[in-house]
A = this chain, B = another copy of it.
């Protein structure tokens, strides 16, 4: 571990920084993709116009109305925890308030669990392509990242997990996104979930289940959360950000009760408390009883957007021969969540493509390399399309722009190679 010096002009002093601070790639993307006129599939945001602004304004009025307690420090909201228990029941999970720990969004849940479970140098098991917020946490923590194969069709290679554990690997934990995988879009079936939970139990290795998209299923019946298969070794991460109000930064984890005390200590030193105002606002909103209808509206709209994106991809990247897949471009068919994963032939560098796509065609996405758990070349010729925050006509237009950008990009690469 070395120190990084920030070099300035000779007159300017140097700061000694601890190593392990990486740039957050998505923040730059957010800024570039947010430019006027750009159709952005870059960020996993819920649809702004579908957020329940009016009902939340009523809840805010109720919470605020002249009550100074609304602005004061406070203990975690039992009322909100009780609503979380109800949400967990929708995911097939039977849990108690005493197992619910409120966090400043699911991202903080990941950071706290990593601080709780991972020492510098410990191994952690990830899919080779995974949500970058988790791998950033782990690299900063000094974990050694082991990866197993994954795909946008089958998801995590559970037999590779079994082999690693059978061979003696004892990672601090395994992190998975079983529903609406970020970025691959794949959702794991019941049997794979059962097998993962059994492996966690057998080898006493915790599995962190990131279920931020679990309530956004586009099928009639969704697989129950992994947590429903084991309550001792599956730790659940949930979030209000994808379903209700990203601006409040409230999420939760469900863990065995004996982990509440050390998590409380870590939370205390991280930020004292999850904003009690946001907790009260969410509890008041959920008390209002509008949530089920809101969720149904969001799922219906996102299903339509998913369909619009798949249709546009079919149109612009048709199969060569009556339905066989396109020779250069393949994509996933998500049944849950917000993401389509698009893979191209290996001569396409999606990061280069992104710059060109924004400049020439005013369309944006997340390049695959962002999601490479261990860095390296995984995902360099793939990209993630987030469809939830774009209307169907914008999706059609954005995919047309993407197709033009890719068409323009490939000849240049052919010349260069």
A residues lining the B interface (CB < 8 Å) = 1, 3, 6, 8, 12-19, 21-24, 26-27, 30-31, 34, 43, 45-46, 48-54, 56-57, 60-61, 64-75, 104-105, 107-108, 111, 115-120, 122, 133, 136-137, 140, 172, 204, 206, 232-233, 241, 244-249, 256, 258-259, 261-262, 264-278, 280
Q: In this complex, what residue of B is CB-closest to A249?
A: B275
The residue from B67, B105, B248, B262 contacting A277, defined by CB atoms under 8 A apart: B248
Question: Assuming A43-B73, A57-B61, is B264 touching A249 (CB within 8 A)?
Answer: no
Instruction: Find the B residue at minimum CB distance from A107.
Output: B272
Given A53-B64, A111-B271, 14 more A-B residue pairs with CB atoms under 8 Å apart are A18-B122, A23-B265, A24-B269, A54-B66, A56-B64, A71-B247, A105-B271, A107-B270, A107-B272, A108-B270, A140-B269, A248-B277, A249-B273, A278-B278
Tell me if B246 and A73 are in contact (CB < 8 A): yes
- A107, B271: Cβ atoms closer than 8 Å: yes
Task: Specify the chain B residue showing the minimal Cβ separation from A59.
Answer: B64
A to B CB contacts below 8 Å, 13 in the list: A18-B118, A18-B172, A26-B268, A34-B75, A48-B71, A51-B68, A52-B71, A53-B67, A57-B66, A61-B64, A107-B270, A133-B272, A249-B275
- Given A105-B272, A117-B17, are A247 and B70 neighbors across the interface (CB < 8 Å)? yes
From A1, A120, A270, residue with most partner B Cβ within 10 Å: A270
Q: How far, in Å, is A286 (CB) from chain B's closest CB?
A: 14
Asked if A270 and B111 make an inter-chain contact with CB atoms under 8 angstroms apart, the answer reads yes
| Chain B residue nearest in CB terms to A258 | B6
Q: Which residue of B lies closest to A263 (CB)?
A: B21
Answer whether A27 and B264 are a contact pair too, CB < 8 Å, given A57-B66, A117-B17: yes
Q: Contact: A27 with B268, CB < 8 Å?
A: yes
In the complex, chain B residues whose CB is within 8 Å of the CB of A276: 246-247
Number of copies: 2
Most B Cβ at <10 Å: residue of A22, A75, A277? A277
Q: Is the CB of A258 within 8 A of B136?
A: no
Question: Inside 8 A of A137's CB, which chain B residues have their CB?
Answer: 269
Find A45's partner among B24, B26, B72 (CB 8 Å cutoff). B72
Contact A65 B72 (CB under 8 A): no
Residues of B within 8 A of A12 (CB): 232
- Give min CB distance, A90 to chain B, whole Å: 21
Contact assessment for B271 and A19 in the assembled complex, using a CB-CB cutoff below 8 Å: no
Q: Is the CB of A247 within 8 A of B275?
A: yes
The smallest C-beta distance from A274 to any residue of chain B, in angstroms, reads: 7
Given that A66-B57, A69-B48 are known contacts, is A140 also in contact with B111, CB under 8 Å in the complex?
A: no
Contact A72 B54 (CB under 8 A): no
Contact partner of A278 (CB less than 8 A), chosen from B24, B67, B275, is B275
Q: Are A57 and B64 in contact (CB under 8 A)?
A: yes
Residue of B nearest to A251 (CB): B271
B271 and A18 contacting across the interface, CB-CB below 8 Å: no
Residue in chain B with minimal CB distance to A6: B258
Also in contact, A262 and B21, with CB within 8 A (given A54-B66, A269-B111, A275-B278): yes
> Which B residues touch A43, using CB under 8 A?
73
The answer to whether A71 and B248 touch across the interface, beta carbons within 8 angstroms, is yes
Residue in chain B with minimal CB distance to A108: B271
A64–B58 alpha-carbon span in the complex (Å): 9
Chain B residues near A57 (CB, 8 Å)?
61, 64-66
Give A278 to B57 CA distance when docked, in angstroms.
14
A13 vs B271: C-alpha distance when bound (angstroms): 30
Which residue of chain B lies nearest to A19 when distances are taken between CB atoms in the complex? B119
Q: Which residue of B lies closest to A268 (CB)?
A: B24
Report B-chain residues with C-beta under 8 Å of the C-beta of A46: 72
Instruction: Please indicate the chain B residues that have their CB under 8 angstroms from the CB of A56 in the complex.
Output: 64, 70-71
Among the listed B265, B271, B277, which residue makes an inter-chain contact with A247, where contact means beta carbons less than 8 Å apart?
B277
